Structure 1
């Protein structure tokens, strides 16, 4: 099994540090200064951040940690976990990571690093600082590197549990890098985790690995629209970005089962889109033709219809027995939002004119309505817009609002979706609302130049495919696009990021 790539430099050491707090015996017994433990300290807290009901299980049960590490673990339980599971309960973040923190130092230090970055991120928002607090960053990087070093040593063992430990660290590092806005490192960790999962069949995987495998699929599915580790967003999934997976029609007895079943459908619809993109571009493939693509579209349509009927039956039966909690209501609305999005996406997969999207205006309006309800439940739970979570691991409103802005040409509906994107600045996995707002605004401006006096955008002025490449300094982006019908070939426009 490959080791997780070390994407940050760490200090070299000829004698292995035994990680004893303050100064380890291996270093001090040889007259060396131990630089491997808490060289950096966190600044004192001056800003009070909102927290959920306190939980002290990690604080009380993990000996040998200094005050800063305990502080980070407390922040992780009280702030980071509620943020990450904003849309729905998560076995990974509400149970598994806490268990592994107790048993595995590599996971514990990875969690401390994530928490330190998160606290600094929240602090910068509350105090409107333009620059990060370097003490937080130094401390977090030290914890990050210590986790890496421990993980490298752990991987050399023959312990069958090491795969699950590596995957847990890997997914923690992904969230950390996304919070930092470092897509290159986030993609490196994601790919490494996927490689580990591919190296062993699912039937031989331990329970921990099976739980984490679902979390990786959750992160990887929307990645289809991100072309490589750079900040490049595509209008159609590029070749090889997503593979078709087996879809099983299983009964829906819980919200989790509904989400898992829809996620597989989402993955396969993205796969169809990638095939259509290859076909539209004229790439030679003996397996791609209008007949085979139409057959795949029809089969997926049947699957989506069956899912819709089963979901309606589940919702009706549940409502007749017990009332939904606030989070359950939000989770169901997210599923319904994604269902409306996938319905329009699948229905227009083989259309190169972009005119078919006009037939799905009810779905686009439904997306806006559901997203308004979802955001309202967050405001109810957190008390105000300013306290809403800044990042969640699951995909929620962002991709659907993005889709509505890009593919709906009704001016009022499209503008409403854009305003909803602006209401709540946050990240959902690889989706960043700030970046999405700027992409949508740029594409809308391009198409509005061709809108006629009646408010209609003719086919020749509609963007069919697009690729957005963000400059390294994040101050501008280049939109490369092809209009429906292909007139004029690929064009590009430079847009500032405001």
Structure 2
């Protein structure tokens, strides 16, 4: 029971409530739980009136000292980078979840500042001569370099695997903004390994937001990866539902099918354009092809059903149209590659869609 004269807190996380201690109410996981090595079971769903209180804070509300350049970078991420970085996908991960983690996780905060500085550099110099982006590196941006190095130091001592894969995702952004393909692929591979071999997926926010992003990023390994090793797709396996509840679910399934399709193309390359060209592929590969074609057909059936059931509201109409378009493009690309005649070009040597 609370002490006499004190007011009982009803908005803390489920773990702190069970322990009957005061929760600091940091979201998505409270600091009191994460600092003591406990698993934070999250919070009960907020009522509509309280929902607005769960949104990310603006940079001027963040604790800790920020100098002028750091503050400007945080503000730029909050207003420009976060809303635009996800493209056709839901921006909540960048505009809310990542920003909330910057409040108490230094590696996330410094990574965000580095991303913001590089993103602004890229967008401001977009009108420069063609090909200049490929020559841009961290050494040309002292603010990004300093904060990236600090983020790496914090990552080395980080024990929470959920936060590790989150920071890994931010590092992929940093390397991609520099056109550093090899380093970005290494971070993608390491993040995939951690997702499949640790307790990272025990965190609901990782499963809901980080896992889908890594599922989509795995496409880069098929286009640009070197060597015979292919990413393990088991951790990203998406079970076919009875129906799609929204376009995010449709996107999650088509991302998985897309990756399976390109994995099969890589595995069967030697029969399409390699040393065994003209020979019949083994039954196992043919069976996988039939399975993927069936998944594509199932996806189309579920997608058409979703379209029939859904009526986009005015508020979300533009976002929904974009998500629908992205899902259809991925589906069409998969169908195109599976219906194309044999070619001597390896999937990794093609231009991405």
Q: TM-score, normalised by structure 2?
A: 0.71
Partners in 1 of 2:285 and 2:322 — Cα distance?
34
Partners in 2 of 1:133 and 1:278 — Cα distance?
37
Equivalence for 1:241: 230
Q: Does 1:333 pair with 2:325? A: yes
- 1:150-189 equivalence runs, <5 A: 150-155=154-159, 162-189=160-187
Q: Does 1:274 pair with 2:266? A: yes
Q: Does 1:141 pair with 2:141? A: no
- 1:274-313 equivalence runs, <5 A: 274-280=266-272, 281-282=274-275, 289-313=281-305
Equivalence for 2:124: 123
Find the structure with the greater CA-based Rg.
1
Partners in 1 of 2:153 and 2:286 — Cα distance?
51
Residue correspondences, number: 285
Equivalence for 2:217: 219
2:139–2:145 contact (8 Å) kept in structure 1: no
CA 1:135–1:200: 2 relative to 1, 3 Å: closer
CA 1:83–1:295: 2 relative to 1, 3 Å: same
Equivalence for 2:112: 111
Equivalence for 2:195: 197
Gaps spanning 5+ residues in structure 1: where?
1-54, 156-161, 229-237, 355-462, 470-478, 480-498
For residues 424-458 of structure 1, what are the alpha-carbon distances to aligned partners after superposition, in whole Å with 9 as ceiling and x for unaligned? Answer: xxxxxxxxxxxxxxxxxxxxxxxxxxxxxxxxxxx
- Deviating more after overlay: 143-152 vs 107-116: 143-152
CA 1:322–1:466: 2 relative to 1, 3 Å: closer
**Structure 1 residue 269: deviation in Å?**
1.2
- 1:366-381 equivalence runs, <5 A: none
SS in 2 for 1:346: helix
CA 1:247–1:79: 2 relative to 1, 3 Å: closer
**Structure 1 residue 333: deviation in Å?**
0.9
- 1:302-451 equivalence runs, <5 A: 302-319=294-311, 322=313, 325-348=317-340, 351-352=341-342
Report the aligned-residue RMSD. Answer: 3.1
SS in 1 for 2:66: coil
SS in 2 for 1:86: coil
Gaps spanning 5+ residues in structure 2: where?
1-55
CA 1:163–1:247: 2 relative to 1, 3 Å: closer
Equivalence for 1:80: 81
Equivalence for 2:247: 255
CA 1:223–1:133: 2 relative to 1, 3 Å: closer
Equivalence for 2:32: none
1:120–1:132 contact (8 Å) kept in structure 2: no
- Deviating more after overlay: 86-95 vs 122-131: 122-131
Partners in 2 of 1:269 and 1:135 — Cα distance?
38
1:242–1:270 contact (8 Å) kept in structure 2: no
Equivalence for 2:43: none
1:224–1:241 contact (8 Å) kept in structure 2: yes
- Structure 1 or 2: more strand by fraction: 1
Partners in 1 of 2:179 and 2:136 — Cα distance?
13
For residues 285-318 of structure 1, what are the alpha-carbon distances to aligned partners after superposition, in whole Å with 9 as ceiling and x for unaligned? Answer: xxx9443333322222222111101101111221
Equivalence for 1:209: 206
